[in-house]
Amino acid sequence: MTTLVVTGTDTGIGKTVFAAALTGALGARYWKPVQAGLDDDGGSDSLRVAHLAELTAERVHPEAYRLNTPCSPHRAAELDGVAIDPACLELPTGEGPLVIEGAGGVLVPLTRQCLYADQFARWGAPVVLVARTALGTINHTLLSLEALRTRGVPVRGVVFIGEANADSEATIAAIGKAKRLGRLPFLPDLTPAALAAAFAAAFDVEDFR
């Protein structure tokens, strides 16, 4: 069974949209272990992915923790009076591949003792790192790759989001010794069909199996 973790170099860079595209392309199940920010609009990344990837209910695993404040999970949990226990974040079982989505960046705290990168190391599943193509991406992406590898986390490669920036993308792949998996452009009309078509045009699904 293929299990992949989708994480990012920062928040708000399109990680959830890519996770939806990947889940749909693989015919996978989806899991967001910790959802913070429900106070924003009452929605969740799981609902958004289910819509964009056209997933049936049984292919979306419920979050282990649902938190209200839009901030780092460790703080959102404290504000909600909840204690996140990383040991309880066991991979859900089921048929077929599994796509797991982290929150924000690689070093976002789950608790005051455990970062997401530490949890990725416990799972041992390969990580797909999602990065912007905008200014600052080289530094952020190389730091994220270094943080993952320091913990022994296997990296499948880097996915870019945004307008093409061939030099930055090539520089990250070369210096970071990471495979450039492809680039997902901004989609003016973000529908399930448009997202599936954009993924098929920009990526080789076999790179993720």
Active-site residue list: 32
Residue identified by tokens 């595209």 is 21
Tokens standing for residue 98 = 């599994």
CA distance 105 to 12: 10
CA atoms within a 13 Å half-sphere pointing along the CA-CB vector of 115 = 15
Helices 15-26 and 192-202, interaxial angle, to 10°? 80
What length does the chain have? Answer: 209
Q: Name the nearest CA neighbour of 23 among 144, 199, 163.
A: 199
Instruction: For residue 58, count other CB atoms closer than 10 A to its CB.
Output: 9
Q: Cβ–Cβ contacts within 10 Å for residue 206, how many?
A: 6
* Spatial separation of the C-alpha atoms in residues 23 and 11, rounded to whole Å: 19
What tokens were used for 40?
Answer: 């924003």
